[in-house]
Structure 1
Amino acid sequence: MEILVISGLSGSGKSKAASFLEDIGYYIVDNLPAEMMVVFAEFCAASKGRYDRVALVYDVRTGEPAQKLIDALEQMKTAGIHCRMLFLEADNQSIINRYKETRRTHPLAGGGVSVAQALQKERALLQPVRDHADFVLNTSGFSASKLHSEILNLFSDASLEDGMHVNVLSFGFKNGIPVEADLVMDVRFMPNPYYIEELKHKTGLDDGVRDYVFSFSQTSDFMRRMEEMLSFLLPLYSEEGKTVLVLAIGCTGGHHRSVAVAHALAEYIQNAGYPVTETHRDITR
């Protein structure tokens, strides 16, 4: 049985990380007080395998001193439970930007306290927790795809048992190249559906756009060569020990060509026997 505690700064990505862990088989419990963790761990241990992998999200919302969490972890370890802790953090500007985008309120802000002041207080409160963590992940500048890759790399048994996991990511160059990309391909040489009135407001996941993109010989030639390159590269990356490979496909805006090509490549890679995640970063921008 495994207990994974997810802690860290508000706005650093704990909820996203929890959802990704849920996708790979963890049972998630959010905002559980430290003393209840010990009781819940005992319940899980007695469940005869029903709750073998549990992730508990813990942050300043509990209003407890950090030492209570540390004591609870030590108590569970003493009881023979495999316990680890993941601590997420990010720089102030990244967190402030995220709060602006979501229009949520930092749990320690309000009443004249700014997000920056709340973060300063939160960092101090959680410093003992950070010092006790097994993994510290700085998510500054992370996309959801990058966080997903990191979580898979750290905690996915499937990535170890089934081989390398491939994340095929479409994006728009005007929004920047994804920092997490291992391989970047530029498909801006393909004819652009954006200039076809009936396709302009659709995406590469729509049949009309896909049919248009793949109606040109240069697209077919590109796909053939790309599939040949992937059939050569993927086994080599896997043999080298890479657990997550991010393949980024870019066009101008990330709505049409890159989406259609990324979708087709994800299907090819899946058929080749690799676990695949398909992400379209800029499709709604």
Structure 2
Amino acid sequence: MRFVIVTGMSGAGKSTALKMLEDMEYFCVDNLPVPLIDKFVQLIHDSGPGEIEKVAIGVDIRSGKSLDELVSVLENIQTPGLGMEILFLDADEDVLVRRYKETRRSHPLAGNGRVDDGIRREREKLRTLKECADYILDTSKLLTRELKAELEKIFVENREFKNLMVTVLSFGFKYGIPQDADLVFDVRFLPNPYYLENLRPLSGNDAPVRDYVMNFELAHTFSDKLEDMIRFLIPNYITEGKTQLVIAVGCTGGKHRSVTLANELYRRLGENEEYGIRVEHRDIEKDGKKCLSPET
């Protein structure tokens, strides 16, 4: 029997993950008291082989002081054939604060105080549990469908879990550097397709713009050196325990050069066994709507 403990930070998506696992034919129970987990496991086991093969239990800070006993409770379960796993959902503090403000809910540990104080206390209380987790999913930048895809890879397709999610993000400097960027690269040294009338309305997702930018030797040299550095850094980030890496590639408007180079880096890194990867273009639609003067 596959037995999954779904836990993590309040607001990181635990309830959503449980609903998704239920759709994947897991028998799901949310907020089961910690002292009852071993009895619940025994009850499921006694129901007979083949009756329930996949179980997911949601456990979080609402369990109070008994949450401190979770690890020892799980270690003491000796049910034959039980595959025990812990899924920990996490998110950046600013993302959690924003989600609470949007839903107008109060944090379980905030009381009458500030949400961010409750989040910090919760993170400290869950530190040991996170260290014991088999899977850590950072949902800060994950769309709902992307979270579902990650869960399917782990709990349905049984593919090897990639703890680090790399986001290659294009952006325009005139709209500001992305606040969550870990690494920022400026490609404004490349010739600008904006000044070619036939390319101006297109983006780096279109072949004419891509071919124009990549026709310059500078673009290939930059891509080679960037790929080499990122491939060097990623294993070290994985060793350090990083779960999210945002590589931001910027040009003036975020429509032509940065999109082309971000797509090129995404293509070069491609599918691999060490990390997940996605590409996102933050400002690709802004330039045509808001630009009142030519790019520089």
TM over 0.5: yes
Supply the distance in 1 between the matched residues of 2:52 and 2:254 (Cα, whole angstroms).
Answer: 44
1:156-197 deviation line (CA, Å, top 9, x unaligned): 94448xxx9754332333322555534x33122334455677
Shift of 1:279: 2.3
DSSP 3-state at the match of 1:214: helix
The answer (yes or no) to whether the contact 1:193–1:199 under 8 Å persists in 2 is: yes
Structure 2 counterparts to residues 132-211 of structure 1, below 5 A = 132-135=128-131, 144=141, 157-159=160-162, 167-173=167-173, 174-177=175-178, 179-182=180-183, 184-192=184-192, 203-205=203-205, 207=206, 210-211=207-208
Secondary structure at the counterpart of residue 254 of structure 2: coil
- Correspondence for 1:66 among 64, 67, 86: 64
Q: Which amino acid aligns with 2:8?
A: S
2:269 aligns with 269
1:241-276 CA-to-partner distances (Å, cap 9, x unmatched) read 856765432123434321222112222332899865
2: CA distance between counterparts of 1:32 and 1:58? 7
Per-residue CA distance 1:178-220 (angstroms, 9 max, x = gap):
55534x3312233445567786676433x2xx41243257x53
- C-alpha spacing 1:66/1:96, structure 2 compared with 1 (3 Å): same
The one-letter code of the counterpart of 1:204 is: G
Q: Cα distance 1:129–1:226, how it changes in 2: closer, same or farther (>3 A)? A: same
- How far residue 278 of structure 1 moved from its aligned partner, in angstroms, is 2.4
- CA distance in 2: counterparts of 1:43 and 1:49, whole angstroms: 7
TM-score under structure 2 length normalisation:
0.55
Matched with 1:8 is 9
Q: Could you tell me which of 214, 218, 224 is aligned with 2:220?
A: 224
Q: Which residue of 2 aligns with 1:106?
A: 105
The one-letter code of the counterpart of 2:182 is A
Bigger mean CA deviation after superposition, 70-79 or 269-278: 269-278
Partner Cα distance (2:232, 2:117) in 1: 45
SS of match in other structure, 1:204: coil
Provide the C-alpha distance between the structure 2 equivalents of 1:189 and 1:104, rounded to a whole number of angstroms.
43
Following the alignment from structure 1 to structure 2, what is the Cα–Cα distance between the partners of residues 41 and 250? 55
The CA distance in 2 between the partners of 1:83 and 1:69, in whole Å, is 16
Unpaired runs of 5+ in structure 1?
137-141
Structure 2 gap segments, 5+ residues each: 133-138, 287-296
Equivalent residue pairs, number: 248
- 1:250–1:170 Cα change, 3 Å: same
Structure 1 counterpart of 2:74, from 73, 76, 85: 76
Q: What is the identity percentage for the equivalent residue pairs of Structure 1 and Structure 2?
A: 20
Whole-Å Cα distance in 2 between the matches of residues 29 and 222 of structure 1?
55
CA distance in 1, matches of 2:172, 2:42: 45
Distance 1:276 1:30, change over 3 A: same
| Structure with max Cα Rg | 2
Give 2:294's aligned residue: none
Distance, in Å, in 1 between the alignment partners of 2:118 and 2:234 is: 43
Query: What letter corresponds to residue 224 of structure 2 in structure 1?
Result: E
Instruction: Tell me, in whole angstroms, the C-alpha distance in 2 between the residues paired with 1:98 and 1:275.
Output: 26
CA contact (8 A) 1:41 1:76 kept: no
**Separation in structure 2 between the aligned mates of residue 257 and residue 190 of structure 1, nearest angstrom:** 7
* Cα pair 1:169 1:280 within 8 Å, conserved: yes
Deviation at 1:6, TM superposition (A): 2.2
The one-letter code of the counterpart of 1:7 is: G
What is the TM-score of this pair, normalised by structure 1? 0.56
User: Aligned partners of 2:59, 2:230: CA distance in 1, in Å?
Assistant: 38
Cα distance in 1 between the residues matched to 2:3 and 2:204: 41
